[in-house]
Amino acid sequence: MTAAAPVAARRWLSRTALLVVTCALSWLSAAANAQTTDEIRAIEDSIIKIYTTSAEPDYFTPWRLMNPSQSSGSGAVIEGQRILTNAHVVANASYVQVQKHNDPERYLASVEFVSHASDLALIRVEDSSFFDDAPALEIGNLPEPNTEVLVFGYPIGGRTLSVTKGVLSRVEQQVYAHSGEFLLAGQIDAAINPGNSGGPVIADGKIAGVVMQSAGGSRTEALGYFVPPDIVRHMLTDASNGSYDGFPDLGFRTQDLESPAAKSRYGLTPDQSGVLVIKVFEESPADGILQENDVLLSIDGFEVAGDSSIRLSRDLQTNYKHAIDLKQIGDTVPLRIARNGQVLDVELTAQRRQQSYSLVRSEEFDAVPEYYIYGGILFVPLNMNLIKRWGNDWTRSAPVNMLHARSQWASPEKREVVVALQVLAADVNLGYHDVRNWIVETVNGEPIRDFYDFSRKLHNNEEPYVVFRSESGFQLVVDHQQARDSELDILNRYRIPAPYSEGLFDSPALARVQP
């Protein structure tokens, strides 16, 4: 044997070993892919496409609907022969149909329960046989960060089911695009397109979240957001009695307390942390228990950091509001506070939130807009539905006085802003035809509590003239008898069905709670 023989033999053995390792890795990869394929096939029959026809109210002319539009979304079958999806997929829906994977037939459906706050809804299908070959998926737990998940849905650009992979990259409080609520949300590094909304995020064969609208808008790329299991379970518990309660609010607001000087000013030692109470709302759970300048040290057993965060687990830290969001109406929430350096333990009872802690009501869905026409002047309550009617760029295009009202707190004396939106030109309002988007402060010198109070003042007025006054002192004066006499003529001329919205005087507006 030559000297080169052992070298050749070693090379042959190295190549053989490399080939074996390569084959083994290929086999493992194939096995993993086969496992993923089997997991997908076990899930896909439970993924539903949802077709919605909706007609939103026109808040510029609140007695009319805007043109109907068609849209589609996704959903997943869960326990109880129900379909879990996003609230925005079925918001303002007048007609809903559903379709299974690889099934051309569409089935008539209806919305059983909706939580606009959490952007979640439950759908029922009238034909129960729809679920015969569509097994219910189980609600799982939130995966650990950097876990790979599967996203199922029917995005635009095709008719068939789409399955994409992503990695859970972040979990924290986010502003939900649909409702504007500040709730826990998951983020994955996969783009989510229109049509994906409402589809499940799957981990270990279970629902680990529900895809929702991007909270980042155009500022983010290749990112998707989903409603995590804790929020899904909260909605399902809320839905169990068929009555919407929503998320509670304890009725106080705080600011971060990280400044050493501020901590010392409010009696904290260097090793203590918490957040400063800056507002306590009257007639709220916190009223009479918390005080402004108290320091919130812990909530429901979670220590509160100076940046308003609590630690839920080793890898999950989020805003302390999440500890409140997990509660149902009637639950007790223990707090530890510091007041002038003294540590106190108190308890608050989770209650339904007031309709709005701001003078501007949050955006509402599946609701009838309120309005009152008096002397040809269209009066409406100021809410986010109206402000957003100025388009996607409403932060720039909506009237400044309306945007400014969003930063003002409500109180028992003043809960709502009333706007003279436009004037329907007639003899009774001569001289005011150009008035638009004008905020009313008083009626005949009396302050306005809310839109119901305002409407009642006009409806029951016995004075010969009604004087509307703004904060700056500008006035609109209307002859009351002329307003009464011209009402029918104005309604007919502008083809308006009624002088005020249906149900306006059935009960005070503040008694109603919107999802």
Catalytic residue numbers, as ranges: 88, 119, 197
User: How many angstroms separate the Cα of 47 from the Cα of each of 224, 228, 294, 315, 461?
Assistant: 19, 18, 49, 31, 57
Q: 321: part of which helix (H) or strand (E)? A: helix 321-325
d(C-alpha 317, C-alpha 302), whole Å = 11
- Please report, as a single letter, which amino acid is at residue 105: E
Please, how many CA atoms are within 13 Å of residue 115, restricted to the half-sphere of its CB? 28
Nearby residues of 261 by Cβ (< 8 Å), 6 or more positions away: none
Coil vs helix vs strand at 349: strand
Tokens of 274: 């918490």
Q: 182: part of which helix (H) or strand (E)? A: strand 182-188
Q: Are 296 and 277 in contact (CB under 8 A)?
A: yes
Please, how many CA atoms are within 13 Å of residue 242, restricted to the half-sphere of its CB? 1
Region of residue 198 (phi > 0: left; psi between -120 and 50: alpha; otherwise: beta): left
d(C-alpha 353, C-alpha 351), whole Å = 6
d(C-alpha 326, C-alpha 310), whole Å = 14
Tokens of 259: 């400044």
| C-alpha dihedral (212, 199, 38, 41), degrees to nearest 10 | -160
346: DSSP letter? E
In 197-341, the DSSP E strands lie at 200-203, 206-212, 224-227, 252-255, 275-280, 295-299, 302-303, 309-313, 316-319, 332-339
Tokens of 330: 């009637």
For residue 268, give the nearest of 354, 336, 356 by alpha carbon. 336
Q: Are 300 and 334 in contact (CB under 8 A)?
A: yes
Coil vs helix vs strand at 261: helix
Residue the block writes with tokens 């029951």 = 460
Nearby residues of 236 by Cβ (< 8 Å), 6 or more positions away: 139
Q: Are 354 and 409 in contact (CB under 8 A)?
A: no
Q: How do beta strands 200-203 and 182-188 pair?
A: unpaired
User: How many angstroms separate the Cα of 193 from the Cα of each of 164, 196, 221?
Assistant: 11, 6, 11
Rg of the chain, C-alpha, whole Å: 29
